[in-house]
Amino acid sequence: MTTGFKTTFSPQDVFARRVVHKLDASLEDLPHHVSERLRVARLRALGLQKRPVEQTAQAPSIQVQNGVATMGSGADLGSGRSQLWEKLVSFLPLMVLLLGLMVIYEFQNDLRARELADVDQALLLDDLPPDAYTDPGFLKFLSVPSDQHEGAQ
């Protein structure tokens, strides 16, 4: 009975089938104790052969009971409420990062505002009026060495 499907074998499968055929053909020439040992070894190898196991990937979940957080597999999720909790917990690192960035931004703005306030305070408490700093003659006066100012008095 044919099903109409064409089966293709890899080169390793073809080679393995040829080796098995040759070994089976020469099996009759071996003594009985050797053939028994080979048969037992073959059965043991077939028993140890890895069979493909179908597994579904489960995302880990965090469960909180009585204030204690435990981590389990996704198969432990029983209700929609715990799935919602899992989604909220997955956003927790992002929220912490955003909160940290906002705190740093506010700290930097506060620091800049304090620095500007210190400069304004120094300008207002100085003996010179603030307009003196924009006067071109005052800038020329500042560029002249201080020992020449003493000789001019």
DSSP string of the chain, one letter each residue: ---SPPP---HHHHHHHHHHHHHHHHGGGS-HHHHHHHHHHHHHHHHHSPPP--------EEEEETTEEEEE-GGG--SHHHHHHHHHHHTHHHHHHHHHHHHHHHHHHHHHHHHHHHHHHHHHHSSS-GGGGG-HHHHHHHHS-HHHHHHH-
Q: pTM for this structure?
A: 0.35
Verify that 22 and 81 share a domain, yes or no.
Answer: no
In a domain, 70, yes or no: no
Domain shared by 82 and 38, yes or no: no
Structural domain count, the chain: 2
The mean per-residue pLDDT over the stretch 20-40 comes to 80
Q: CA-CA distance, 75 to 81, in Å (whole number)?
A: 14
pLDDT tens column, 77-123: 456 677 888 888 888 999 999 999 999 999 999 999 999 999 889 88
Domain presence at residue 53: no
pLDDT class of 39 with cuts at 50, 70, 90: confident
Question: Contact at 8 Å (CB) between 61 and 77?
Answer: yes
Instruction: Clarify whether residues 137 and 88 are in a common domain.
Output: yes
| Residue 87, domain extent | 75-145
In a domain, 66, yes or no: no
Domain-embedded: residue 153: no
Q: Is residue 63 assigned to a domain?
A: no
